[in-house]
Amino acid sequence: MPRRLLGTFGIGLILSGGFLSSGFMLPGGAAFGHELKDFNGRVEEAEKLSRDGKNKEAMQVLIDAYKDLKGISHARDKHQAEFERVSQKLADSYKKVGDWTAEYRTLVVLAAFYRYHKRTDTIEYADCLWQIGQNCDHRKHYDEALANIKQAAEIYKVHPSITPERESRIDRGLGHLYLQSGQNRLAEHKLAEAVKVSDLLVKERVHDLGRALILQGKNYFILKEYEKAFDAYREAVEVFEDSLNRGHMLTAHALDSYVAFIESLPPGVLTDTTSGVDASVRKEHLVRTLADAYMLNSRFYKAKTYLLKLKDLYEKSGKTEKMVYGRCLEELGECCLRLKDYTEGLVYQAEATRLYKDVLNDRDSAAMALLGLAAYQYQNEDAGTAKKTLVESQRHILAIHGAQSWQYGESLLLELKWLFKEEKKTGLKPLLEKLALVYSDEEISSDETDDKKLRLLILKLSRIKSERFHYYLWHDWEKLDKSKLF
């Protein structure tokens, strides 16, 4: 620590006893005081008071305990451990009551104590310097704070017990002080390091939490506490989904564990009617959640299996003119698209379109269903009908959402895919101009004609569409009413 951090007092003065008469001192003691056993009793009493929130009372007891050490020079040689202990607790006590000046003085003396005993390579000394830095930061003495934090960081960085958490804390602390002192480039570097390490730590914690929740679910299942198991498995999925990239193997593992649990539930759990919910409703919710999980996990064959079961349940319960039935049909069509079963997918999509258009009179859903129908018609080699359907869909979308909506963007993307497949350049420029209006955050040149760059553009926009569909699926997952299951 730079000598200026000790004010006008040197190390020798602090630890020689002359410091006690300087006016800049810790509470001193008489030459003859209580025995050391009284010191230990006072420290224990102070700890109890602190736990009870009586910080001022604890501070006074610590001052009395300090007096038991008969002053700094005596404690320096005879009661080192006790002096260190009471100084740390006294500094903490001053901090709790907001006496920043007294905390600073206490820590400066403690730092001098470590230097006197040549303990300047210890974690304890680094912690003391760090606390001095925090104190100076609080009092807006940023240069002094930075000097102490930098010296603490040098000790921490080479210590064998350094952890990623401490590394992140060091870089964040230095970044903060560089920012406060106007050294913005240095702040940029340190804060970037802090973000990098912290991001890794968050992911590591996420991994640990998710795995623990899966194990908890397994244990609850064995204990036949099925609702608790259900909660644990779902929370594991949500932890991974919220924190990791889409498609991460841990999210996939959590979803697999969830569906394995649901599929393993004894029949009695499903048919039990003590909750007051009809068994058929519970069956629908059970099949719905399994379909959602398989869709989220891109297990489209299994998802289709459960969606067909769900479709059958809706038909038996007279819900063929409900929105849920149309959504089920569209998801069946999506599964068929992913499985390249375009003929069957066309049937489901056409049925969903008819439901929205002719039965429910839902113009928005009908417009988007027409867009899906056009895609299936094209895949079934009926390009002429597909293009007419696309025009009808775009007319409705423009009337409802406008030319800068994501809905219109998806219709333009479908049109671009067809042009690219047919190797046509006619109409490409105005199409790209329209796409540029919708996807204003993307770099889209209306003069682009290079096939490679057009292919990359289609992939990029398709990825955006896929992310939106995933969000839609996740929204359905979150809407599940657990009370209809247990």
Q: How far apart are CA 251 and CA 258, in angstroms?
A: 10
Q: How far apart are CA 317 and CA 271, in angstroms?
A: 17
The pLDDT tens digits of the residues spanning 201-243 come to 888 888 888 999 999 999 999 999 998 999 999 999 999 988 8
**271 compared with 228, residue with greater pLDDT:** 228
Q: Kindly state the percentage of the chain with pLDDT values over 90.
A: 48
Residue 278 above 50 pLDDT? Answer: yes
The Cα-based distances of 389 to 21, 371, 372, 373, 461 in angstroms read: 94, 7, 9, 7, 21
3-class SS of residue 24: coil
Q: pLDDT confidence of 36, banded at 50, 70, 90?
A: low
For tokens 């490679």, name the residue.
Answer: 452
Q: Which two tokens stand for residue 194?
A: 């802090």
98-107: list long-range contacts, CB under 8 Å, 24+ apart: 100/135, 100/138, 100/139, 103/131, 103/135, 104/132, 104/135, 104/136, 104/139, 105/24, 105/25, 105/26, 106/26, 107/131, 107/132, 107/135
DSSP type of residue 352: H
DSSP type of residue 19: G
Domain assignments of the chain as residue spans, ordered by start: 3-162, 266-484
Residue 38 above 70 pLDDT? Answer: no
Q: How far apart are CA 125 and CA 112, in angstroms?
A: 9
Q: Hey, do 3-162 and 266-484 end up sharing a CATH topology, with the first three levels equal? A: yes
| CA gyration radius, the chain | 34
Amino acid (1-letter code) at residue 288: R
Q: What per-residue confidence (pLDDT) applies to 2?
A: 41
Q: Residue-wise over 77-102: b if at least 16 C-beta within 10 A, else e?
A: eebeebbbbbbbbbbbbbbeeeeeeb
Domain 3-162 has CATH 1.10.3720.10: no
Q: What mean pLDDT comes out for the span 268-295?
A: 78
Q: How far apart are CA 359 and CA 296, in angstroms?
A: 29
266-484 in CATH: which number?
A: 1.25.40.10
Q: How far apart are CA 371 and CA 459, in angstroms?
A: 19
The answer to which of 2-16, 349-363, 390-404, 469-483 has the lowest mean pLDDT is 2-16
Q: How far apart are CA 370 and CA 378, in angstroms?
A: 12
| Average pLDDT of the chain, as a whole number | 84
Global confidence as pTM? 0.66
Q: What per-residue confidence (pLDDT) applies to 418?
A: 93
Residue 179 above 60 pLDDT? Answer: yes
Amino acid (1-letter code) at residue 54: K
